[in-house]
Structures are given as structure tokens and as C-alpha cells.
Structure 1
């Protein structure tokens, strides 16, 4: 049935009244009986563009599959009740039917407006929304065909009719610079404009260190101090000082004291908590704090006095912290260095750069020495190092992707990573052992069933592993990663291993970090761009100044920190998803300029519907099984292989293949390849 005929038959909508709940026809008596049998469960509906979906249960690892004909009017992120079917056999995924919408998770969608005569539809950007949104003429605000829009849902439809909405915001043509990324920002509901009250409050913050703020602080302006960041970085929140006496390294990690300027409970603080983190998209940064703070008084700019919280560590020749002090300090950065400059000095033998920064060269080589020591110690205890290249996407003046390259870690990035990790561990240990209210960064042990599935895959890939039947340790994961180094499928196996891990999160309990093999861990080093860091800085300052006990602050923090941890974790996930979508969009856009061109790549994933190929520049695309016309290919889920029935040709993880770019759709964020024989 055409869209028009479908909507000509649609029942009259309630005028602007939003339907909050929706039930299938299930008698109350039957519902109570199913509840007694434990067959009614509550969870969050996760949609799929093909119409089916899944319900994630809060306290259970496995989700419930919802066939398309059992979804009803449920939409992505709705809180729902489902009737679970009894399992017909072991190992099969549970199936269910949505019987009630408890709470709508979506009230607005972002998409492309498609006009049809005097009405139109919004085609949702988020592929998890399977249904288009009908827009009547009176609710279209005169938007043009092809415009990016935000639509408010006013009716969620029924089994036979699609949802209806009204246009809330017109972002303009999809072809206008920046509109595509703005649509991602809107679709993830990321706050991008600071409220007037926040801007006013930020405007009152001084642009220099006041004399009153110096009281009670250690003056470390005499220390040789540098920042090391990316060339484009403007919010510099960490600086390093390092000296050595005998066998003892004196490492100072100095972090911007944002808490001095952002008071708890203020408009600035509430907005920062709402955002949770800065978001780094392909063409813009959406900061957690207004630029007056993030790029100004809070940024550790060269030659300027700045307030900091410093973790001053004495480290022995074994990489062990034998003494430390966390203090309120004042520093003055001597040089603003880039990763590239430090790498040139330490690895490339760049005489010109070395001469320019001659006074700092000895400290850089000392940094390298200590970094290697700390990294070796971390490796010895079992820290897992997944070394995946990041993507560096270059845009032109019109916001179009003109280059995509792999951005590899180097000696300079490793130095900063190692020193930040050491400071984070040291701070977490002191506050955990002191039993203070705090926010920790935790990473739980992987689920045993997922680990067992990984081990089975590894064995099927011909990789010898001894582990089975009990909880795995970080050291054993590390040994697996090291055993595949140099193999063609190394990167792919590493990614599958990473997917076995649970997601790190913020908690008020110090339960350790599995991936780092660390008993104590927190995020202390980035308060300009992460709210948990800012929050624990307040706790540390209150503790240093004796206010934690004296003024009843302990109870206050215990009351608020659970919410802080949950909000920060949720905002982090939102930012990560938005950043991934931004990169996928720009990678697809870049590949759309290379249709028909051929590239060498590695098979990074194999499924029943085809296999994914990753190019050296980090772009990944799908070779659909229907494009393999030389044979009929069947999928072996135990070995992750597609094999031809007649030719016995096999496509497997890690295999090198030559592909041609068949299609690239920036709107769908997809790239399609075909194999070049």
C-alpha cells in the first residue's frame, strides 16, 4: 500500500495529545497469570531498521528478540513490558511480544524531510527507527524537500499506521556545510548552546589568577614544566615536570584546578553535569564548559600562572611509587609542546627541533626513560594493551571530507598516557584507602560465557589457548593478544577480544579496572572535558582544606555521587556513539568521491550476509554475499568463514582482499565494496 493510501485510511488523530502508553489486547487475568509464571519482563526496546528489535533487561546479560510482527508501536528506547515465550530448545535466543509501553523514550526524531504533495514524511537518521514519521501539511512549517529537520511526535500510531509528528526545527539543506554533523548533535540530544545564565556566570570569571586564590597553595612556578598535546588542542588541562635524583624520579602531574572557578551547584556546574563530557566530532568540539574557561583561565597556557591540583610522585627504579603528595599548587608552563615535536626530538633525531628546545631535551629523554619503566611494570602485572589506530579525518572549508588516515600512537602520546595513568592510580589509591566519598573509573571482569565463546573462536582460528571453564585474568587476555602478534588476523582477533570486555563506567565503589589490571583507578587528569574529574577535584580540595569532615561535606557527597556517576557514564556513552556516527558519516562521504576505485584491505568481520573489509586508512565497508556471484557461499559461525560450495573458496578473518568501491551513502553511513578477482 502506498504511503498516501495508508494515510487516507488513518483514523483521526487526537489534536496534539501525545499518547504515553499503549497496550496489546491482553486480558488482565491472563497478564496476572503470565506474571506469576515469570514470563512478563520489563526493559528497554532497541529498534532495528528492518522492523524487528530487542529488549534489553536491566539485570540480565541476554536480551529478548522481538519479531517485527510483535513490536506493536514500540520505538527505539521505549520502556516496555514483554511477554516472553518459553524456550523451545537450549542455546536459542529468547523471543517475546511487546504487551505494554510503560514510558516513551522518544519524543523527537531527527531526519530528512521528504515532501509528497501537501504532506510529507521524516525519514529518520537513526537506523534504529524503522518507521517514517508522517507530517500533515498543517504541521510541516513549510520546510523544503530534502531539509534536515527535528520532528516532535504527536501520535505513535498503531499496528496499521505510522507515527505522526510536527516539525519543530528546520536545520536547512543537507548540502549546507555542517548541517550533517548538526543533525547528529540533535539526534543524540547533545546540548550545543550554553544558556544565558551560564554565559553570564562564565563572563564573571577572571582572566588571570587573583592574589586571593594564591593563598595556601604550593608555588611550583620554579619547576621546568611543559604541556604535550595535539597541534590543534586549545584546552590544555595537564602539564608535566620531571627530575631525577639518584635512582628516584620526581614526577609532577599538574592538572588544571577547574573546581576553583566552577562552584558545586552553580549554573556552570549544573550545565557541566548535564553535558558530562566534551564531545569531539569531525568538524567541531562541543565543550563541557564555555570557552572562556576551557580555553582561557583553566587552560594551562604557556607563560601564564595557573591554579592546579598536582600529584607529586617519587618513583623508584622498579616503577613503584614510594611516596606521593596531592596538593593545591600554582604552576607556570615554560613550553607548549606538540606530540609531533616531542616525537621528532626523541625518535627522528630532528636537529632543528632539538636545538630550538635544547633546554628541555634532557627532560624529554628522562620522560621517555620513566615512561618505558612504567609501561613495563604495567605490562608485568597484566595490563591489556589494545593498540588500534585512530582515524584522522581532514575536512575542507565546506566541511567535506577530503582525506582519511590512520593516526598511530607514538612515543610522545605514550609518555602522556603513562604519566596520566600513574597519577590516576595514585589518587584513587589514596582516596579508596581513606574511605572518602569518591567517583572511580571501574572496569568489571568479562562475562564467563562471552569469554568461553571467544576462546572457542580462537581455537577455531588455529590459535592455541589453554584457558577454559573459570574466570579469566587480565594477564591471560594479555597473553592471548601477544600470541597473535604478527598474524594476518591480529587486528581482527584483538577487536573481537575487545568486544568480549565489559564497558568501563563510573561508580562510587572502588572495584578496580580489569583492562589495566589495576586495583585502584579514577579519572583525575581531565577536569576541563570530563565531569567526574571536576567532581573529585572538589572532594580533594575539601579534604586538603579540612572541610570534608568539619562542614558535613562527607554526607553531601555521599548523597550526590551515585547520580554523578550514573549521569557521567550515560553522557560518555552518548558522546562515544555520536563521535562514531560522525566518523562513519565522514568516512562514507570521503569514499563517495572514490566510487569505482580499487583498494587493498583486510577482512575484519564475517557474517551470514557478507564480510567487512577494513582499508589501511581505517575505512570499513561491506562486501555483501549477494555480490559474490562466482559461487553460492555458506556461513560457518564457528570459524567465522564464508565458503563456496563448488569452488571451496573461503573468506576468513584477517584475509587480504582487493576490493572496488561500489557504493557509499553518507546519510546511511555505509560503504559497500565488491571483490576484485
Structure 2
């Protein structure tokens, strides 16, 4: 009788084992070769096929011609998400740490569009690898916002985003009554990789693109901002009381007699914080009371999940997408004047030099005694407006003490090296009817500084307290910049005549000193902006990495729980500590939360920035031919950018509109130089320009040069030439 051949034991079919077999064989494999290598019986082969399909969709395996599967890294292939520029080229971000984005030339997109997950073959290596797309793994777009055009049989939606080079076909009956020229949201029904133009249906008609509210809706949909409450959240909201009840006050310290006040912008409707300062023999006592949102929004509730999904409130000139619904954000959790509210209070004692001596934290019931605007406080303290001072006489002493304490805290912060970037924000002026009137630089006065200093002090006090007691929280972290980027900035600064040395050790104090040097210069705003770009982006993290910009060893966000979810996380941790409970969050959960909330913050910032850009072009489209003074903020091979002084708008002077010479870009010195005349246009030069053309769809503003001058006041340009001719004609 012959010997029975033993069957080799099968290897468990897992993603890890499939990848391991592929690596061991060192070549692309057929499906049956993978079965045999794993010794998989026929009844388990379906599971292997599902795993291989998943690995292929993730880009960890590539399906090749001849029905073989290969490892992308062995074939100079990478997978990632495609971003397409409006000029037709793209970049694929692999998501691998330390691996640069892959440049995709215009002719090598192979039907892939912005947002797709793709497989790329690397064709040129080096500092900036270049490649071509060989496969679309997954379409990144599910909805398209665009202009509707009605046809007899098939209508189309032309994407509003100029980096989407296709039209959406809308079959008859799926246009939802949209009229030609209106902005609509189209859901893509069929956008298989082999299709160049998808098929879709209109799911929402937004309206006339000239309407500012429609522009807001476009941005909300484009950035996929959550803006509708779930049914479960609506039900929870109905159960929340309209005012503070007696049972809500149990176990809270009564601070209603402390004359706290809120200081906010004129148009603010939600008030997170109220403050009061008392002067004492040894120094000052600061009260910062922050709305206790966590009392009404339990962890894990539907309202909590909705707020976490949003991450932050998003503010537009004519609207807000709030993190919490109005019942909470504008009423029950807003520290409105002369009503009782639940709060978490931070009470900090400072010495006469503004140094923290001790801090105390308490769950409280408070009452805001008055609502001030920033402008009112500035008029009272700086302008010494007699009428306002008479009207608000009971608060004059406290407001004066606030200013004194804020100045001392600021001095302490500056002494440790904290950086204050002077970057003005745009303020959109709307008429009573909600129509656009102007864009100006938002004023930042003493009142703003008072609140900023008090909020920073409260944030630091809470972060220190929770850290010392080892309660996990989300810190607001800001890591030190890369030295290479600082070196690049120093080279740029040299082109402006600034004699800076690259520091041996990067410290916030070095950046602070640079900002002091350029204070008051015409190019101060430009230097502030470019210096800020050397910095890493602040984010949320459960590990205390410090805050470089504030020169703070321990910092968190605590003071805005109505509009920022990380603040709510910190509130819950502080309340748990005060109540003697265990920490509400685990470190591993906070890590995921920090990544999500940092991402939501970036999305909100991009959405707000784009809305400002949309408003800018609409404003300047109505001001064609008007003249403005500004400063050159950037140079490129095609022209130079100008930031206007009077209106918070920037645009470009194109070289094709400079007919007096041929200009060459001198990248090293950040300037354009005339080849015949030697005329120079450099970052920091002051120029006078006229609004020549505005492309609303592409959000481009073109200026034409009238006059330019260096910082020393010498003028050049057509006006200067005309003056010299007149002098010769009339000696």
C-alpha cells in the first residue's frame, strides 16, 4: 500500500498573509497562484477574492493586464488622491509620511478628475517625482455644484469649479425644474472610470449666482459643510429647557453678584465669555466665566455627535453654519445680559507685574451685568467719550482695571517671546438689505487686546491644572518651524534690505524681534504673511507639544465651547475633575478626535477664505476704472500681485499690460526687472493701480499700473514721465 501524501496546512486568508506571499514570490501572481501559495481549499476561495478586491480598491495591490496582481511599490507605482489645478496639471498625494506629492502633467491625467483615488506610474524620480495615471480606483466626487443649461432632450450642468473639466449630463425629467443659468447641485448617477462625462440628476436648485446668499450656499455645498440637524438631534433639542431652571443650579457657586460683562463685536449673537477684574493690594483678580454647554449636551448624545461632525462653527459675511443650533448658541448657552446662565469660571490672581500667583476653577451660576461692544470699550478707554463714560459710569473702574491688567499680562507674554502677527482680517460691510457695500480691514483695538489676553490666560490656567492632575485633554499645539523654511525667509528678507541672521536655535523671541523691526513699514503686512508661512499649522493633540507661537509650555482651547468642539472636550475634563469623577476621554480616543477636529478646522478656514474671495470679486466688478494705492505682495513670471490699502482686496498687474519693457523674474530677489530700462518691481514697493478687469467665474482681479514708488519715495511710471515732459515744455 502506497504512502498517503499529506496536504500542506492552509495559511489563514488575511490581508497581511496575501501581501506577505506577494513579497516572498517577488513577481506579479495570477489569482490561482495566490490560492495555491496559501493552500486555500475551494470553499474558502471566495473570501480570498474579496480580500484581494479590497486590497486592490485600497491601492495596496494593482490589477494588471493578463489577470495578474502586483505590489505597486515593486513596479514604480503609487496610489493616492488627485488634486487638479485649473491649468490642467495635477498632484497625487500618497499620504505616506516623507513621500513627496507626484506631479501629473496635463496630458497624463487619463480621464481622472479632481478628488479621484488613482494609481500612478512614476516616470521621473527626484525631489519632485513625475508620473502618469494608469488607473482610477475610485471617483472622489458624488455631487457637483454648477450652472444648469436646459436642452431639448438632455440638459447639462457645467461645474462651477474651474478645475473640473467635464459636463454632467442630466436626462429629461431629472432637472428638478431648474432654469438655464441657475446654480444647482447635481448628484452623479453614473461616473464609471471609463466615462469622461458623468450622468446625473439635479437634487437641489440653489438659485441666481448673482445673489450673495446663493454664493454662500455654493460654498456650503462645495466644502460639504454639515448644515442640517439629524431627527434625533431635533428631538433632543425639544427636551432642553428655554431658561435656566432651579434644579440646574444645584452644586454651583453663585457668582451672579460679580459684575461680569461681555465684550464682543457689534454683530455678535453668541457670547461665550464674560469677564471682570478687581484690583487688590497685591495685584489683580481676574474672573473669566465661560458658558457651560456641556451641561445641556451630554457626551455621546445626538446633539454631541452632530457638533463633533461639524467640529466648529463656520462664519460667512451674511450667514453662519453653527456648531450648535440657535436655541443653545444664541440663547441658553449665550451669556446674554441680565439673565442667569450656567458657566465654568476661572478665577486667577495676578501680582502687580501680571504674573500668575494662583488659579481657582468652579462650576457657577453667573449673570452678565452688561453687553459691551469692542467699539464702545475703545471709545470709553481710549477716546474718553464723555457721553459713553457718563452712561456706563458703574463699569468705568473695572474697565480701567481690565486695561491695566491686560497690558501687564501682555508684557509678561512678550517677555517670554510670544509672537503677535499683525495680520488684519477683512470686515464685510453689508447694507440694511444685505447687499455688499465694502470690504475694509477689521479694526483691532485695546478692547480686542483685553479679551485676547484674558482668554489666553484662562486657556493656559486650565491646561496647566488638568495636566498637573493627569486628566487627558486635547491640547492646542503649535510645533517649531523647520529651519530650512526659516533660512528661505531670511533670504527673502535680504531682498527687502533686512539684515537678518538665521538663529542657531529657533525660538519665538527671534520671530518677535523680526516683527518689531518691520513695524510701520509699507511691506510689514507682506513680511507678516510670509513669516507666518514658515510656521507649522497649529492643531489639536492629546500630547502636550507646547505652543511655539505663544511661547507657551502648556496650552489648550477652553473659552469657546459654543463654536469649537475641542473646548467642549476640555470643559468635560475640567468638570469631571471638579466633581471627582474619572477622566471622560481615553488617550487613544483623543488622538483620533484631534485629527478629525484639526481637519474640520482647516475645512472651515478654507470655506471662509473662499467666501471672502467670492465677495471681493463681486465688489471690484462694480468698481471698474477706480484707482487705489497698494503694495506689491508677490511677483511671478506673469506679473505682480498688489494688496490694496483702502479696500481689503488683492489683484494682479500682468506683464502683458506693461508695454514699456520686457520684464524678467528675478526669483532670488523677489522682483521683476526690465531688460531695457532696468526698471524694478519688487515686493514691498508702493504702487497706484486702476481696476482694469474682473473675472467673476475664475475669481481674478486685474489691475493696470498708474504709478509706482520705492520706500524712499521716488516715483516712476507713466505719471512721472508725463510730469518730466511738462517741465521741458514750460521751463
TM-score, normalised via structure 1 length: 0.91
Is the 8 Å Cα contact of residues 47 and 130 (structure 1) preserved in structure 2? Answer: no
Task: Kindly indicate whether residue 86 of structure 2 is the aligned counterpart of residue 49 of structure 1.
Answer: yes
Which of 495, 509, 520 matches 1:475? 509
* Residue in structure 2 matched with residue 80 of structure 1 by the alignment: 118
Is the 8 Å Cα contact of residues 486 and 502 (structure 2) preserved in structure 1? Answer: no
Task: Kindly indicate whether residue 585 of structure 2 is the aligned counterpart of residue 547 of structure 1.
Answer: no
Distance verdict in 2 for CA 1:141–1:388, change over 3 Å: same
Count of aligned pairs? 649
Larger radius of gyration: 2
Q: Deviations over 1:17-37 (max 9, x none)?
A: xx9899999658998476137
* Residue in structure 2 matched with residue 585 of structure 1 by the alignment: 614
How far 1:409 sits from its partner (Å)?
Answer: 0.4
Is the 8 Å Cα contact of residues 154 and 165 (structure 1) preserved in structure 2? Answer: yes
Moved over 6 A (4+): 19-25, 28-31
* Residue in structure 2 matched with residue 292 of structure 1 by the alignment: 327
* Residue in structure 1 matched with residue 35 of structure 2 by the alignment: none
Higher relative contact order structure (alpha carbons within 8 Å, sequence separation ≥ 6) = 1
Question: What are the within-5 Å matches in structure 2 for residues 9-88 of structure 1?
Answer: 32=70, 35-36=73-74, 39-58=76-95, 59-60=97-98, 62-87=100-125
How far 1:116 sits from its partner (Å)?
Answer: 5.2
Q: Deviations over 1:437-474 (max 9, x none)?
A: 11111111112222222122122332111116x55221
Distance verdict in 2 for CA 1:79–1:441, change over 3 Å: farther
How far 1:405 sits from its partner (Å)?
Answer: 1.2
Aligned mates of 1:188, 1:415 — CA distance in 2: 34
Task: Kindly indicate whether residue 703 of structure 2 is the aligned counterpart of residue 666 of structure 1.
Answer: no
Question: What are the within-5 Å matches in structure 2 for residues 105-504 of structure 1?
Answer: 105-115=140-150, 118-137=153-172, 139-156=174-191, 161-176=196-211, 178-396=213-431, 399-467=434-502, 472-504=506-538
How far 1:507 sits from its partner (Å)?
Answer: 1.1
Is the 8 Å Cα contact of residues 82 and 97 (structure 1) preserved in structure 2? Answer: yes
How far 1:633 sits from its partner (Å)?
Answer: 1.2
Distance verdict in 2 for CA 1:125–1:377, change over 3 Å: farther
Is the 8 Å Cα contact of residues 139 and 193 (structure 2) preserved in structure 1? Answer: no
SS of residue in 2 equivalent to 1:585: helix
* Residue in structure 1 matched with residue 551 of structure 2 by the alignment: 517
How far 1:397 sits from its partner (Å)?
Answer: 5.2
Q: Deviations over 1:586-617 (max 9, x none)?
A: 11111111111111111111111211111122
Aligned mates of 2:217, 2:416 — CA distance in 1: 44
How far 1:396 sits from its partner (Å)?
Answer: 3.1
Is the 8 Å Cα contact of residues 262 and 370 (structure 2) preserved in structure 1? Answer: yes
Q: Deviations over 1:335-358 (max 9, x none)?
A: 111101100011001011011111
Q: Deviations over 1:59-79 (max 9, x none)?
A: 237432211122223332333
User: What 5-or-longer segments of structure 1 have no aligned partner?
Assistant: 1-18
How far 1:504 sits from its partner (Å)?
Answer: 0.9
Aligned mates of 2:354, 2:699 — CA distance in 1: 45
Aligned mates of 2:639, 2:155 — CA distance in 1: 35
How far 1:100 sits from its partner (Å)?
Answer: 3.6
* Residue in structure 2 matched with residue 13 of structure 1 by the alignment: none
Q: Deviations over 1:33-57 (max 9, x none)?
A: 76137x4334332221111111234
RMSD: 2.4
Aligned mates of 2:152, 2:656 — CA distance in 1: 36
